[in-house]
């Protein structure tokens, strides 16, 4: 299963608007991948959502964070050994550090400067659209594999005989 970290901007977009960021979050909610998060990301979310830009109430912020806790696996264990993560954009260092701690394969960001990094440690930095593409491709592969297994089980099980009765 994929292990993914979303940056603060993607999480905010997922909760406030409909679009690819929301679809990404719904993918984690549905069990399509594991969403990693940290207390640093949570603190950033709380600060940005309370700022004058969004001005959410404390209750609205708490509701959002309770939902995020239900979806994501939080990890704050310090695993990084090669110094701090240098981030080219605000709020990116928390997502990159979380990805390093959790062993995430992907960091999802909508910021072109962060996406331009292409990689941070072992994690690839991708857009919400790229994550959706990868999730759909993985779902299609699983369905095809299931169909092959079912066809093979059908071939092995009845020797090719049909269960239908001859109408004549």
Sketch the domain layout of the chain as residue ranges: 3-150
In this predicted structure, which of 95-99, 102-106, 123-127, 162-166 has the lowest mean pLDDT?
162-166
Spell 6-16 as b/e; 16+ CB within 10 A means b. Answer: bbbbbbbbbbe
Order the strands of the 3-6 sheet from edge to edge: 73-74, 34-37, 3-6, 106-108, 123-126, 119-120
CATH number of the 3-150 domain: 3.40.50.1010
% of the chain residues with pLDDT over 90: 65
Q: How many residues does the chain have?
A: 168
> pLDDT, tens digit, for every residue of 42-61?
999 999 999 999 999 999 99
The answer to whether residue 70 scores a pLDDT higher than 80 is yes
82 pLDDT tier (thresholds 50, 70, 90)? very low
């Amino acid at each position: 299963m994929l292990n993914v970290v979303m940056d603060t901007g993607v999480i905010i977009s997922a909760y406030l608007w409909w679009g690819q960021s929301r679809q990404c979050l719904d993918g984690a909610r549905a069990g399509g991948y594991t969403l990693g998060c940290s207390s640093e990301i949570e603190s950033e979310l709380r600060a940005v959502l309370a700022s004058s830009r969004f001005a959410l109430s404390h209750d609205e912020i708490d509701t959002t964070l309770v939902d995020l806790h239900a979806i994501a696996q939080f990890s704050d264990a310090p695993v990084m050994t090669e110094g701090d993560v240098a981030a080219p954009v605000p709020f990116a260092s928390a997502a990159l550090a979380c990805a390093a701690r959790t062993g995430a394969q992907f960091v999802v960001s909508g910021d072109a400067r962060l996406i331009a990094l292409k990689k941070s440690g072992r994690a690839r930095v991708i857009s919400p659209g790229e994550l959706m593409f990868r999730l759909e491709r993985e779902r299609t592969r699983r369905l095809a594999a299931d169909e092959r297994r079912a066809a093979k089980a059908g071939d092995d099980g009845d020797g090719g005989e049909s269960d239908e009765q001859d109408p004549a």
